[in-house]
Chain A
C-alpha cells in the first residue's frame, strides 16, 4: 500500500483492490459514517471531499494530497485584473478633476 495513503487516509482494516475502482468509471463510493470527511487537492488546485477510506485511498493513489498544491496563476491573473480596474477608476477620476480645473 502506498505510504501516502496511510499517512493521509489512515490505516484500514480491510484490503481493497483499488485498480478495480480505477477501471470502472461509474463506480460509486459509499460514505462511511465513521470516516471523518477529508479534503484533498490536486496539482491544479482542484479540491474534493472524500467520505470513506476507499475513496480517499483511490484519490491519493491518483496523486491527490491533503496539502494544497496551489497554482498561483489564476490568483495572479485576478490580482492584475482588479489592479487594472482600480487603476482605470483612479486615472478616470484624476482626469475628470483635471478637466474641471
Chain B
C-alpha cells in the first residue's frame, strides 16, 4: 500500500522495491514537494514504472522510478507518433514511393549507432550486446521496434509531409529525446525522410564526393577511443564516443538529416502557411512557459513532462532563478529558449507589418506568457539584438525621409553606446586580453608558472608574455591558447590598429563571453588537419576530453555556434558555410523579413550554442530558407 513519502517511510519503500507503481504513490504524494522523482534507467521490464528505490539525502528524498530501455523506446515513440498523427493531412500521398531499400539503409544506420556508442549503453545496461544472434532478445527487440516505428511513420508521413513545416515550432515543446537512448526521435525521422529523398531525387555527385573526401579526413583525425562522453543536455544530437562506427553513423546520418530538412522545406514551399506558423509559434511558446511553471511547482508533473516530452534534461524543479536571475523552465538551455521566445516576438511584429491577419484574443494572451518567458530566461543579448533589429526594420521599411532615417540611426546607436559604456566597467586593458586571461585561467598551467616577489603568478598578473615563457617547457597550454597568446604578445602590440585578437576579446567582454570563449581556447587543441577540417558532425568528445583543463567535468560548451562549427567542420567548413550564407543573403537581401530574421539568428549564433540543440538547428535551417516561402506568401496575401 502506498504511503506519504517522508523520512519515516523511507525504510518502508526501501523494503518494498519494485512493488508499487508511480500511479500508486502519486495519489498520496501528488503535492509532496520534498521528494524528487528520478528515472532508474537500469530497471528490468518487470520493474518499469515502479518505485525501484528511495533514498534519503540531506537535500531531500529521492524516489527512483524504474524505466527500461525497451519499454521507454516503445512508449515514448508511440506517444510522439500520436502527435504526428494529429498534424492535419495535406492532399498529396507520398507513402507509395518509399522503397524497401530506405528501411534497409535506416536499419544499417541505426545498427551503426548502437555499435559505435556501445559504451553509452553499457553504462545503462552492463549486459548490453549488439550482436544479432537470435538469443539477444533485447537488441533484436530494439531493431524490430525501430523498423516498426519507421513503418508506422511511413504511413503517417505520406499525406502530412507538406504540412510538417507549419508545425516546426512544436519541436521546442516536444523535444523527442529518448530517456535511455542517445537518440532523438525527430532526428531519426528526418534522417528517414532524407534517405527517402536521396534515393528518389537526382544526386549531386560533386557534393557527395566532396563530402566523402572530407569525411575521410574525419576518419584520419579520429582518435578511435571508445569513450563515454557525458552528452547531458545535448543528448541525441552529439556523439558520445570516438569510435569508427559511431563516426560513420554521425557522418552518414547528418548528411541525410540535412537532406531530409531540405526536402521537407522544398516540398513545403507552397503549403507553408504564414498565419498557421505564427499561431503555432505562439502556442508552443506559451505552452513551454505554462508547462515549465507547472513542472517547477510539482515534482510528479516534473517527472512526467521530462519523460513524455522527451526533454534532454529535467525541467527546473523550483521557481527560483539561478545564475544571474536566469530561469530555464522546461528547456535544457535558458539561452536557447530565450532566443526562441524573442524570435517569436520578432516574427509576429514582422508579420503584422506585412499586413497579415491580426492576432486573436487567445494569441494575445499567449504573448503575455511568452513575454514572461523572455523575462525569466534573462537572455539580454537576444533581447537587445531583437530590439535593435526591429528598430532598424521599422526605420528602413516605414520611414521614407532620409534625414529622419539617419537621425534615427544616430540617435539609436549613440544611446546604445552609452548603455554599453554604463554596464561594462572593466579596466580598458581587460577588453583586449580578457578572453586570453580566462583561457590561461582555465588551463592546467599552475605547476609550470614561476611566482614573482609578491607570490603572484603570470596568470594572476595577466602577464601573457611570461606565461608563454613559462609554458615553453611544460607545454601545458592547448594549441589554440598558445597560438593566440603568441599572436597577441608577439605581433599585436606593434601595430597602430588593434589586432584581431584584441577585437575578438573586446567583443567577448562586451557580450559577456570572455570566460566561455577563454575556456574554449583552453580546451581546443587540434592538429593542423583537425583545425582545417574539424572532427566531424556531432564529434565533440575529442575537443572536450582531448586536452586536460580545469573544466573536464560537467558540460561547459563553447557558447558560440561558430566555434561549434569550427570544432565539427574546421576552418574550411566554416569558410564554406560563410560563403554559402553570403551568397544567399546577396541574392535575397531585398526580402526584408528574411534578411532580418536571418540577421537575428546570426547575431545570436555568435554568442550561443543553439546549433547544438536539434530544435534550434531545425529553426535555423527554416530561417535560412525562409525566402523560399516568403515569395509564395506575397502571392497569397
Contacts and interface: CB of A to CB of B under 8 A. Distances in A.
Interface in A26-50: 26-31, 39, 44-49
A82 interface: yes
Q: Which of B47, B53, B135, B144 has the most CB of A within 10 A?
A: B144
Contact of B55 (A31, A72, A93): A31
Contact of B137 (A39, A47, A78): A78
A76 B46 CA distance: 12
A79 B53 contact: no
B11 A28 contact: yes
A70 B127 contact: yes
Interface stretch (B37-45, B246-254, B399-407, B411-419): B37-45
B410 to A, nearest CB: 61
Contacts of A51: 55
Interface stretch (B12-20, B543-551, B590-598): B12-20
B55 A26 contact: no
A72 to B, nearest CB: 6
Nearest to A55: B14
B141 A29 contact: no
Contact of A82 (B15, B55, B64, B144): B144
Contacts of A12: none
A89 interface: yes
B42 A39 contact: yes
Given A26-B12, A82-B148, A46 B57 contact: no
A11 interface: no
B140 A79 contact: yes
Contact of A74 (B44, B147, B152): B44
A14 interface: no
A82 B40 contact: no
A68 B126 contact: yes
Nearest to B43: A47
Contacts of A3: none
A47 B44 contact: yes
B148 A31 contact: no
Contacts, number: 94
Contact of B10 (A28, A74, A89): A28
A26 B42 contact: no
Interface in A66-92: 68, 70-72, 74-79, 82-83, 85-86, 89-90
A5 B468 CA distance: 54
B182 interface: no
A28 B14 contact: yes
A74 B55 contact: no
Nearest to A82: B144
A46 B52 contact: yes
A24 to B, nearest CB: 8
Contacts of A70: 44, 127
Q: Which of A27, A30, A82 has the most CB of B within 10 A?
A: A82
B141 A48 contact: no
A25 B11 contact: yes
Contact of B57 (A31, A68, A71): A31
Nearest to B144: A82
A85 B55 CA distance: 39
B141 A75 contact: yes
B7 interface: yes
B18 A46 contact: yes
Contacts of A75: 45, 70, 137-138, 141
A27 B139 CA distance: 39
B58 to A, nearest CB: 9
Q: Which of A29, A75, A76, A83 has the most CB of B within 10 A?
A: A75
A93 B148 CA distance: 13
Contacts of B11: 24-29
Contacts of A49: 40, 53, 55, 64
A27 B56 CA distance: 12
A74 B46 contact: yes
Contacts of B148: 82, 85-86, 89
B630 to A, nearest CB: 39
Contacts of A83: 144
Contacts of A74: 44-46
Contacts of A86: 144, 147-148, 151
A4 B43 CA distance: 23
A28 B137 contact: no
A44 B7 CA distance: 28
Contacts of A45: 44-47
A74 B46 CA distance: 7
A77 B141 CA distance: 10
Nearest to A70: B127
Nearest to A67: B126
A70 B70 CA distance: 15
A70 B45 CA distance: 11
Interface string B120-156: 0000001100000001011011001101100110000
A36 to B, nearest CB: 14
Contacts of B18: 44, 46
Contacts of A79: 137, 140-141, 144
B447 interface: no
Interface string B41-79: 011111100001101110000001010001000100000
B134 to A, nearest CB: 9
Nearest to A45: B44
A81 to B, nearest CB: 8
Nearest to A97: B96
A47 B40 contact: yes
Interface of A: 24-31, 39, 44-49, 51, 68, 70-72, 74-79, 82-83, 85-86, 89-90, 93
Which 4 A/B pairs are nearest by Cβ-Cβ distance?
Answer: A45-B44, A74-B45, A75-B137, A26-B11
Given A27-B15, A45-B44, 11 more contacts: A26-B15, A28-B10, A30-B56, A48-B52, A74-B44, A74-B46, A78-B70, A79-B137, A79-B141, A82-B145, A89-B151
8 contacts: A26-B12, A48-B17, A74-B44, A75-B141, A86-B144, A86-B147, A89-B148, A89-B151
